[in-house]
Amino acid sequence: MKVRSLCWAATTAILAIVVSASSRAEEKADFSQHAFDAKVTYCKTCHGVSGQGFRGTVPIPRLAGQQPQYIKNQLGAFIERRRDNKYMYNVAHVLSPTMQDALAKYFYGLKAAPIGGAPKEEVTAGKKIFEEGVPNKDVPPCASCHGPEAKGEGEFPRLAGQLQDYIFNKLLNWTKERGQDPQHPDTSAIMQPIAHNLAKEQIQAVAAYVNHLE
């Protein structure tokens, strides 16, 4: 009986492993390579052929090198209407979780050179704010969350190489787009008082500084 019990336990464990592996395989196989390539091409239509961002009527952000967890969080925010953007809601709500994972990892792996273009005369002032914050306005150093090289980590986004006008517009209009569901705040809630306390000139300077980082 003891041997039979051990065999049954071993069989049960093996079945659990097989089922788990099978489930993971199914999760990985819920879209074809063709479907993935089509989504990547669609994303690049707006975000640039190398995911480096695009300057048009509206600045479209750089995705190349962006933290995967941040991309996934923002797709979730669009889907749940916590972040207001009618175009991105239409894009995001049809993506399966595994497709979101795959796209996030793909864009993180791109090493496109930044577009640049921000005024260099604003970089010095922006660097000071990024590294030291603005103590008299209760603004902490940007580097404390986004890292000393502005490459982000986990839920905190990469800012290095991001379009200056995109960052400027987002910080200036933070509460009009972010935090649209106060009952379910996310990490972006940290930025609300910071964006509010920075003057336009300070936002412009920080955006110029990170725009020139690689």
Length of the chain (residues):
214
Encode pLDDT of 119-167 as tens digits.
999 999 999 999 999 999 999 999 999 999 999 999 999 999 999 999 9
The predicted pLDDT at position 13 comes to: 43
Please name every residue paired with 60 in a beta bridge, in sequence order, or none if there are none: 54
Give the span between the Cα atoms of 20 and 27, in whole angstroms.
Answer: 11
Helix (H, G, I), strand (E, B) or coil at 139: strand
Give pLDDT, residue 186. Answer: 84
Q: Does domain 33-211 have CATH number 3.65.10.10?
A: no
pLDDT at 27: 54
Look at residue 175 in the predicted model and tell me its pLDDT: 93
Domain residue ranges of the chain, discontinuous segments joined by +:
33-211
Cα 190 to Cα 140: distance, rounded to the nearest angstrom: 11
**Opening angle at CA 191, ends 135 and 123, nearest 5:** 60
pLDDT at 29: 52
The helix, strand and coil proportions of the chain, stated in percent and rounded to the nearest 5, come to: 60, 5, 35
Which pLDDT does position 82 carry in this prediction?
Answer: 95
Q: Which residues of the chain fall below pLDDT 70?
A: 1-29
pTM of the shown model = 0.84
